[in-house]
């Protein structure tokens, strides 16, 4: 399988497991898990042909580690980024490093300065401990802006942080007072 095919299946899995499981008749439990065989069967019935080995290759090679397989390999879920109401993953609270980062585009800065970072249709705001990763995310949306988040200050104020299976930091929102930008 070539990179283009892997990327297409990765995007399909992201769409199904994060946003629209009903689009192929898949049901996710409250932690976002679904049966691998059922997912493959339903995807194939909806014109998206791939097998278990292909799915395993996509999970293994995904550079953002977007997917998690259960220990027995029978279930799969998106690591984070859910917008579907079927999923309410109970992440474990974890103390973040003193600073985290968020990448965005300059065209969103007026809104961010007014209301901070909000999750939009997702369940959480996504942050990283790697400024290069955040900047790469920002570049996807236009002229990038790297935001530094005072995670220590937020934590001291009682804000809860979580870390997804793939290392992405999650928080309900980030008030503008805890943000500084590095253009």
pLDDT digit string (tens) for 34-86?
999 999 999 999 999 999 999 999 999 887 788 999 999 999 998 877 667 67
CB 169, CB 126: distance < 8 Å: yes
Q: What angle do CA 144, 115, 142 make, to 5 degrees?
A: 15
Q: What pLDDT, on a 0 to 100 scale, did the predictor assign at position 82?
A: 66
Taking residues 165-174, what's their average pLDDT? Answer: 90
Tell me the per-residue pLDDT of 116-168, one tens digit each, with 9 for 90 and over: 999 887 778 999 999 999 999 899 889 999 999 999 999 999 999 999 888 88
The string of DSSP codes covering 111-154 is HHHHH-B--TTSSSEEEBS-HHHHHHHHHTTSSEEEEEEEHHHH
Beta strands in the chain (DSSP E): 34-35, 67-69, 75-78, 99-105, 125-127, 144-150, 162-163, 169-171, 179-182
Q: What pLDDT, on a 0 to 100 scale, did the predictor assign at position 183?
A: 53
For residue 23, name the pLDDT band (cuts at 50, 70, 90): very high
CB 124, CB 89: distance < 8 Å: no
Taking CB atoms within 8 Å and a gap of at least 24, the contacts of 61-66 are 61/6, 62/10, 64/166, 65/165, 65/166, 65/167, 66/10, 66/13, 66/14, 66/166
How many CB atoms sit inside 10 A of residue 161's CB? Answer: 21
- Report the alpha-carbon distance of residue 4 to residue 71 in Å, rounded: 28
């Amino acid at each position: 399988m070539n990179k283009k095919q892997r990327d297409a299946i990765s995007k399909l899995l992201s769409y199904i497991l994060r946003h629209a499981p009903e689009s192929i008749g898949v049901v996710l439990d409250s932690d976002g898990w679904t049966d691998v065989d059922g997912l493959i069967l339903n995807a194939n019935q909806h014109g998206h042909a791939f097998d278990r080995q292909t799915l395993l290759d996509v999970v293994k090679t995904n550079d953002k580690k977007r997917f998690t397989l259960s220990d027995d390999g029978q279930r799969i879920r998106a690591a984070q980024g859910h917008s579907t109401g079927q999923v309410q993953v109970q992440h474990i609270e974890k103390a973040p490093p003193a600073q985290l980062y968020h990448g965005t585009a300059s065209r969103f800065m007026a809104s961010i300065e007014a209301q901070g970072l909000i999750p939009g249709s997702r369940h959480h705001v996504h942050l990283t401990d790697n400024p290069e990763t955040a900047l790469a995310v920002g570049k996807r949306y236009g002229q990038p802006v790297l935001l530094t988040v005072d995670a220590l200050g937020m934590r001291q104020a009682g804000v809860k942080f979580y870390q997804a299976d793939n290392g992405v930091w999650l928080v309900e929102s980030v008030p503008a007072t805890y943000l500084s930008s590095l253009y």
